[in-house]
């Protein structure tokens, strides 16, 4: 079955569900999943439609054109159409810590992530063998105080060369520059090892130990230029106790990190997420 | 804002979302929430629509008539329309154990359950003061081996007299008869104190202790004539350990029971549930 | 069975478990539960011993004297002995929000909390009927900008008159003064409706909504003069989504609050908690 | 720091904690962690002691001899002493499904499992490259209807040759024979992909789908000759909904399986588990 996914955000008014559903039906598409939510506080309308395109009369550009016409009479519309084309291509950025990279590559190998992992980029050589084991090209791009711009340029060059559509910072221990953040807005997911907004910045497990918390957590979010402040996609926690050293918190946290990151990446790839200001709508 | 909720189950075919959304739009309704799911395995289409009826052109009976006409061209359609009318009226059945009754009455008193709790029925006098504290009529209907049919008749009489639309067995320690189960099919929710299908029947915490499980659970389900076999609405668990006696399991389980039951009751009252064979679709 | 509980915190050195276990055995006590943990980072030794006192040779004061002698050769020892005496007496402070008060009183009524709830204190009259339903004296102590000291004096007078050993701030919407915090250090538990250290202070659910978090939480902690900064006893969370308004977050949060608070109160009453700087050891 | 761990199960009587703690102290050991629990229902005493052996006066065989003497005056004593020696050696049995094997090998590579993974055994060749990537010998031992005893003999031969102390059935899709179960009693852990006792046997996710459960789970247990009936070590669950096909349940279940199995293996390796009839005491 070939399907397309349409994400719509606009100001609410009567008849919108009908308008979009009718558009698809009138052109021979069959809706397989529909989720719609209107936010009271803001009057914003959000919808996700997945439809069978086997008998759909329009190709991608005709669909876009038709949606543009439909949108012209609806206020503040933003739609995203995912139709045809191959699997999205994903790049994983990492440093020395292996668990998130292993986890994503293993899930991909088992057929759990609807994408092609096309590239692993790291500022260290440590995880080359992991990427190679899974048959994914590995690119070593060292980063230090003096070559940040050159490294970023190299990143962009690699991402372009591989046709990457989503960058996943899978415990990448470098701060990415504001230019990169802007260009990859909504297409770059980071995993932070705390339940944000608690413990922003460095060494969150040390902060958690000091504060004596009884839960630790992890947060997957879209990257923005403000460190650890971007729209949150998913969070989860683990219960901890007085017997947990920082090392133990770190160990327990790894399980949370990789699950939270995997869920966020999966939802992004399944086109379940609409960014709404600094929040996200996730049709899970 | 006055709203109506429409639940639809039918065989899938192209255009259904459009058909129903258009019907609402054409009559001046505004859809506030739409959830739709088609099950691959069975080809069944399920949808929940909540719409603003402030400007809706049809009254309830006209809406029903129109939906009947719409349905005539769709296979195996079953719709439920909840439109106008007051709050649904709920009866709680209980015995001696107080936690689920307290919990539901407290939630109701705090405005968390969109219903009127109109009646508490018990085969013991123990919880009379609880019902009275919350201002709910309490009816004592003793049940023993010899008066089962008379008790059931009395139950039906009370439920009719109070216009009850939903019966909640809130740790009611009597088996309800097959006639009652049939008449209240899809309108009678029980809480069983295990994660079904494990530990069907009596004394599930004792069974759990014997088996040495590391989680205990609770299951809210629609009642059917087959004991503990009805469609499951919600389940949850608590982690337990070797230090937990049966008494401790029972204590920990009470927290799970009341939360699971409250969620199930709330979802039923919010018209989020469609029964599908012996399973449920819950648009949560 | 009559039991005593001994909590010990001291600097570690070889032989401590033996020293204390032998002391109890030598005097005819039988240890029923022993938990011991030494923290690597600080070299602090923590132990909890519960022992059967049926054949124990010493009364409480003789036991204290003996423990003082034992402690004299151990560095920085702090022990707490709970032996004989009746049930600890607890006061609940509340305002208008009922769920935590109902929850604790219901648990107490079901025999789940090893204490006597001796008093409910509130700055509003709203929950008087709740206290009275459970047969607990209710004291109305209004608090405003100008009578804070008088109110605190009245609180102390009531707590003294009722022989209170633990104060539980069960969604009490007034800040308690630093003098009160000092006098009740380690004996006053508050429930804060966020997963601290996130969302300190007022309206945490509003803060959570604004930040777009995917989990909300609650934290039970000992009260100190620094608002929401005291030693954390227990935390838990609930998963939330984009469809949750502030009102919905508040509703979901109530379930977390009352469970977290109940666990913390129970652990305190079972003498499972040792305060260690701004953290807690909880032998759960 | 070199440590030893002592696990004791015996009939309770006064003075036992003291007896064992004193024995360690008298010989110059320092207890680092002590956990003790007496089960009311059975009067059984369970204790775990971890002690620093840097200054301990006895070697392993002298310690065993001394413990034998101590035990002679205590009823039904069974102790396990883990002292000196290298890391325990572990064999992973698997078939074609990779996630549990990857997970354990990755955790091991990150230093999270206190063991040496010395061998991967499979009835298929599929996971050879996974074992080899992690530098672990892989042995292919095909099993079919006619060679079961030969395969079991080969297994025993391999386990003996590699000095294996723990066998982990990491989604090994063959039933192991009763002789093997007996010989490896308490030293062979299986992961079953349901929350036992629900859904014993084959295709538990299909069973779960049919029953319409709202949670799925996984269970790690010691293997016994009765299929899926052995002592449970750990269980956990994931919440699922009506939108989950069997394939989706399987995918979500994999995350639960690998975490539950990893926790069970870790606890076994850390000598936290005492088998007690068909239940387990886990000093977690």
Domain boundary residue, one of B52, B83, B114 = B83
The verdict on D200 and D61 lying in the same domain is no
Question: Which phi and psi (to 5°) does residue C169 adopt?
Answer: -85, 95
Catalytic residue selected from C12, C153, C228, C255: C228
CB nearest A18 (choices: B18, B37, B55): B18
Of D14, D30, D35, the CB nearest to C30: D14
Residues D193, D205 contacting (CB under 8 angstroms): yes
Mean of pLDDT values over D138-155: 96
C126: nearest Cα among C111, C137, C138, C118:
C138
Whether residue C1 is predicted with pLDDT greater than 90 in this model: the reply is no
* CATH at A32: 3.30.70.260
Query: Burial of D161 by CB count in 10 Å (0-12 exposed, 13-18 middle, 19+ buried)?
Result: exposed
pLDDT by residue (tens digit) across C69-86?
999 999 999 999 999 878
Q: Are residues B34 and B51 in the same domain?
A: yes
CA atoms of C99 and C111, how far apart (whole Å): 18
Token pair in block for residue D157: 């031969």
Q: Which domain holds residue D143?
A: 89-282
The verdict on a CB contact (< 8 Å) between B112 and C251 is: yes
Mutate to test the interface with A, among C205, C209, C211, C214 (most CBs of A within 10 A): C214
Cβ distance of C215 and A217 shorter than 8 Å = yes
Answer yes or no: B228 catalytic.
yes
Q: How far is D214 from chain C (nearest CA, A)?
A: 16
What distance separates the 2 farthest-apart alpha carbons in chain A?
Answer: 63
Res D85: pLDDT:
78
Chain A interface, Cβ < 8 Å to B: 12-19, 21-22, 24-26, 28-38, 47, 52, 55
Q: Which residues of C touch B171 (CB under 8 A)?
A: none
Partner residue facing A232 (CB), from C37, C213, C243? C213
Choosing from D29, D58, D83, the residue where a domain stops is D83
Structure tokens at D93: 């049995």
- Average of pLDDT values for C160-185? 97
State the average pLDDT over residues C275-282: 97
Instruction: Write down which residue in C34, C57, C83 finishes a domain.
Output: C83
Query: What is the torsional sign of CA B167, B171, B177, B178?
Result: positive
> What is the rounded CA–CA span in Å between residue B139 and residue B120?
6
pLDDT in tens, chain A (284 residues): 799 999 999 999 999 999 999 999 999 999 999 999 999 999 999 999 999 999 999 999 999 999 999 999 999 999 999 998 789 999 999 999 999 999 999 999 999 999 999 999 999 999 999 999 999 999 999 999 999 999 999 999 999 999 999 999 999 999 999 999 999 999 999 999 999 999 998 999 999 999 999 999 999 999 999 989 999 999 999 999 999 999 999 999 999 999 999 999 999 999 999 999 999 999 98
Determine the residue of chain A that is closest to B47 in CA distance: A34
The reported pLDDT for the residue numbered A272 is 98
Chain B positions touching chain C (beta carbons under 8 Å): 98-99, 102, 106, 109-110, 112, 129, 133, 251, 254-255, 259
- CA–CA distance from B174 to each of A61, B171, B193, C134, C257 (Å)? 64, 9, 14, 27, 33
Query: Residue A198 maps to which CATH number?
Result: 3.40.50.170
The mean pLDDT of C228-243, rounded to a whole number, is 96
The pairing of strands D3-11 and C273-276 is unpaired
Residue D99 has pLDDT above 90, yes or no: yes
d(CA B262, CA B191): 10
Give the DSSP per-residue string, A141-209: ----TT-HHHHHHHHHHHHHHTT--EEEESS--SPPPHHHHHHTTTSEEEEESS-TTTT-SS-HHHHHH
User: What is the three-class DSSP state of B28?
Assistant: coil
CA distance A133 to chain D (A): 7
Q: Phi first, then psi: what are they for D101, rounded to 5°?
A: -65, -50
Tell me which residue of C225, C224, C241, C242 sits closest to C233, measured CA to CA: C224
Residue D276: alpha-carbon gap to chain centroid: 14
Which residues of A fall within a CB distance of 8 Å from D134? none
Partners of A232 in beta bridges = A221
- Residues of D176-201 as b/e, b for ≥16 C-beta within 10 angstroms? beeebbeebebbbbbbbbbbbbbbee
Chain A residues touching B28 at Cβ < 8 A: 14
Q: Do B147 and B195 reside in the same domain of the chain?
A: yes
Find the DSSP H helices in chain B.
Answer: 16-26, 60-71, 99-109, 128-133, 148-161, 178-183, 204-211, 246-269
Enumerate residues 6+ apart whose C-beta is below 8 A from D125: D140
Query: D60-74 burial string, b = 16+ CB within 10 Å, else e?
Result: eeebeeebeebbeeb
Kindly tell me the sign of the dihedral angle through the C-alpha atoms of B206, B212, B217, B218. Answer: negative
Q: What is the pLDDT of residues D195-237, one digit of tens each?
A: 999 999 899 999 999 999 999 999 999 999 998 999 999 999 9
Residue C192 clears pLDDT 90, i.e. is over it: yes
pLDDT of residue C85: 78
Candidates B75, B65, B64, B63; CA nearest to B11 is B75
Apex CA B216: angle with CA B214 and CA B221, to 5°? 150
- B14 → closest Cβ in A16, A30, A38: A30
C137 and C256 inside one domain: yes
Give SS3 for B109: helix
Q: Which of C21, C37, C38 sits opposite D17 (nearest CB)?
A: C21
**Hunting for tokens 């008087």 — which residue is that?**
C128
A–D interface: beta-carbon pairs under 8 A: 22
pLDDT of the residue at A284: 86
- As a whole number, mean pLDDT of residues C10-25 equals 96
Catalytic residue among B103, B228, B236, B255: B228
Residues C125 and C180 in one domain: yes
Q: A108: number of CA atoms within 13 Å, CB side? A: 24
Minimal Cα distance from A263: which residue of D? D252
Q: Are residues D275 and D189 in the same domain?
A: yes
* SS3 label, residue D35: strand
Mutation target among C102, C247, C250 for the B interface, most CBs of B within 10 A: C102
- Strand, coil or helix: what is A210? helix
First vs last Cα of chain A: how many Å apart?
21
Which residues make Cβ contacts (< 8 Å) with residue A248, sequence separation at least 6?
A240
pTM value? 0.97
B141 and B78 both lie in a single domain: no
Query: Do residue A56 and residue A102 come from a single domain?
Result: no
Q: Are residues B119 and B185 in the same domain?
A: yes
Number of domains in chain B: 2
Q: What angle do CA C51, C55, C59 make, to 5 degrees?
A: 80
Element (H, E) at C106: helix C99-109
The three-class DSSP label of residue C11 is strand
A99-109 and D99-109 helices, crossing angle to 10°: 160
ipTM score: 0.95
State both tokens at B24: 């609402």
Residue C52 in 3-state DSSP? Answer: strand
Cα–Cα–Cα angle for D85, D49, D110, nearest 5°?
55
Do D254 and A110 lie within an 8 Å CB cutoff? yes
Average pLDDT per 10 consecutive residues for chain B, totaling 284 residues: 95 95 96 94 96 96 96 95 92 98 97 97 98 98 95 98 98 96 98 96 94 98 95 98 96 98 98 97 94
Domain shared by A150 and A209, yes or no: yes
One domain for residues B137 and B176: yes
Q: Identify the contact set of chain A against chain D, taking CB-CB distances under 8 A.
A: 98-99, 102, 106, 109-110, 112, 129, 133, 251, 254-255, 259
In a shared domain, residues B44 and B164: no
d(CA C5, CA C82): 5
Parallel/antiparallel/unpaired status of strands A232-239 and A166-169: unpaired
Active-site choice (D35, D228, D236, D255):
D228
């Amino acid at each position: 079955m070939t399907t397309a996914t349409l994400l719509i955000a606009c100001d609410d008014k009567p008849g919108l569900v009908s308008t979009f559903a009718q558009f698809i039906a009138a052109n021979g598409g069959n809706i397989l999943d529909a989720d719609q939510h209107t936010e009271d506080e803001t009057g914003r309308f959000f919808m996700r439609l997945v439809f069978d395109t086997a008998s759909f009369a329009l190709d991608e550009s005709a669909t876009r054109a038709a949606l543009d016409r439909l949108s012209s009479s609806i206020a503040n519309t933003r739609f995203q159409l995912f139709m045809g084309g191959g699997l999205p291509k994903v790049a994983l950025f990492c440093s020395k810590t292996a668990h998130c990279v292993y986890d994503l590559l293993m899930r991909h190998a088992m057929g759990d992530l609807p994408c092609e992992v096309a590239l692993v980029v790291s500022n260290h050589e440590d995880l080359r063998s992991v990427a190679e084991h899974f048959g994914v090209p590995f690119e070593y791009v060292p980063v230090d105080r003096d070559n940040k711009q050159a490294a970023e340029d190299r990143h962009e060059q690699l991402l372009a060369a591989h046709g990457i559509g989503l960058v996943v910072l899978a415990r990448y221990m470098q701060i990415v520059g504001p230019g990169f953040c802007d260009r990859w807005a909504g297409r770059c997911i980071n995993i932070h090892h705390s339940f944000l907004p608690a413990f922003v910045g460095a060494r969150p497990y040390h902060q958690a130990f000091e504060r004596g918390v009884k839960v630790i957590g992890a947060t997957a979010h879209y990257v923005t230029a403000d460190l650890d402040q971007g729209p949150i996609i998913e969070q989860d926690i683990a219960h901890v106790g007085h017997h947990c050293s920082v090392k133990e918190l770190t160990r327990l946290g790894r399980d949370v990190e990789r699950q939270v990151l995997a869920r966020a990446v999966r939802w992004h790839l399944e086109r379940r997420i609409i960014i709404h200001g600094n929040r996200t709508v996730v049709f899970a």
